[in-house]
Chain A
Amino acid sequence: DVKVTQSSRYLVKRTGEKVFLECVQDMDHENMFWYRQDPGLGLRLIYFSYDVKMKEKGDIPEGYSVSREKKERFSLILESASTNQTSMYLCASSSGQGGSEKLFFGSGTQLSVL
């Protein structure tokens, strides 16, 4: 069974802390994505990567960075967490370069910044 695994289901952090969210996929997918999901809003893309060591900014990259040192792992980093980064964070992966490839999502990390 294909899987995207996010390291934590729930996280509580303090303002100013550095936060690492880890995502691992076992499908040998080239493409990996980080989204945040907030009530009443559509998924918003933070960063994505089409290859190892490659990263591209999404719609809301401010306050975030990413790392992709290995094909299966894509990490999201909050350099200095702020309360407005309290959200559900979803990692996803897909294969190929075309437009029809579906996304496989992880179960999400609910991050609370106090």
Chain B
Amino acid sequence: GQNIDQPTEMTATEGAIVQINCTYQTSGFNGLFWYQQHAGEAPTFLSYNVLDGLEEKGRFSSFLSRSKGYSYLLLKELQMKDSASYLCAVMDSNYQLIWGAGTKLIIKP
């Protein structure tokens, strides 16, 4: 079966750095997405990785290792507004998205 694993919840301190991991086992691979979802709101796109390596976008970076079936989202200089759930999703060989359950990130002052 297809599976996406990410931690259920993480806590970090304002101003610090946090890494949210995502491991996957899917039928084929056509890219990995990260979305951010604030409580009660729509998920919004953060990043897309299809090749190995690190993609940096401001305070957020996303890393992919296809051989390990592994990705992480790195958030630097954490702000209170970064408190949200972070969803990892993999596009399989049929171009269908397989979603993880999401990681709830709590930022403390």
A contact residues vs B (CB 8 Å cutoff): 4, 40-45, 90, 99-100, 102-108
Contact = CB atoms under 8 A, between A and B. Distances in A.
A99 B41 CA distance: 25
B90 to A, nearest CB: 10
Nearest to A59: B96
A42 B42 contact: no
B50 A100 contact: yes
A4 B43 CA distance: 12
Q: Is the interface of A mostly helix, strand, loop or mixed?
A: loop
Nearest to B100: A42
A102 B41 contact: no
B95 to A, nearest CB: 5
Q: Max chain B CB contacts within 10 Å: which of A42, A90, A102?
A: A42
Interface of B: 4, 8, 30-31, 33, 35, 40-45, 48, 50, 87, 89, 91, 95-102
A62 to B, nearest CB: 18
A107 B42 contact: yes
B42 A99 contact: no
Nearest to B101: A42
A103 B44 CA distance: 8
A99 B31 contact: yes
